[in-house]
A and B are shown apart, each in its own frame.
Chain A
């Protein structure tokens, strides 16, 4: 089955540690995105990538880093510089405009920093 997979579903880390969230898709989508969701805040864009080996900052990129070495994979690292990392993280992918429409989301990773 085609889809987008995030792992793990729940993640706990100690303050000051870096942590990497996995996102893999087998939909052959060119574009991939990372969003953060906090209660009452909606989804906010962290980073996005439209092609392998290229990515752009979203609205709240500070304290995060990404890589796009393969079309299928777009991991997100939450660094110790992120002041408030506890949140629900959502990865999404889509075909580029003109080739498709909606973005498909993974199941999310709930990160708790203690």
Chain B
């Protein structure tokens, strides 16, 4: 099975940088995903890591260390619209299913 931990809530200021951490324990690993979810809406894909290192995509970057069972999502130049829940998910090698953490609610203030 999978166990995924991420902070429940974070706050940050517009224009700042914020890092959302995710740790996981897994019996199999076939990639780690980050999704953004605004209240009442569907999650939207942000990033995917399967090898160690940093993946950069515009204002968002994601890092993975498989040996440590650790990932983070880095958001730069925060905007008010970035206020949302950020979900960390791990894909199991055997089943291709995604197991999600409980999400981190990010509040960006002016």
Further contacts, 14 of them, CB under 8 A, given A43-B100, A108-B42:
A31-B96, A42-B87, A45-B97, A50-B96, A56-B95, A90-B42, A97-B91, A102-B33, A102-B45, A103-B33, A103-B98, A105-B44, A106-B42, A108-B40
For B91, the chain A residues whose CB sits under 8 A away are 97
Tell me whether A102 and B48 are in contact (CB under 8 A).
Answer: yes
Helix, strand, loop or mixed for chain A's interface? strand
The reply to whether the CB of A40 lies closer than 8 angstroms to some CB of chain B is: yes
A interface, CB within 8 angstroms of B: 31, 33, 35, 40-45, 48, 50, 56, 58, 88, 90, 92, 94, 96-97, 101-108, 110
Q: Kindly report which residue of chain A lies nearest to residue B44, judged by CB atoms.
A: A105
Q: How many residues of B contact A (CB 8 A)?
A: 23
A110 to B48, CA, bound (A): 28
Interface flag for B30 (CB, 8 Å): yes
Bound-state CA distance A48–B48 (Å) is 21
Q: A31: which B residues are within 8 A, CB to CB?
A: 96
Do A33 and B42 have beta carbons less than 8 Å apart? Answer: no
A90 touches B96 (CB 8 A): no
Nearest chain B CB to A114's CB is how many angstroms away?
19
Contact between B97 and A108, CB atoms less than 8 A apart? no
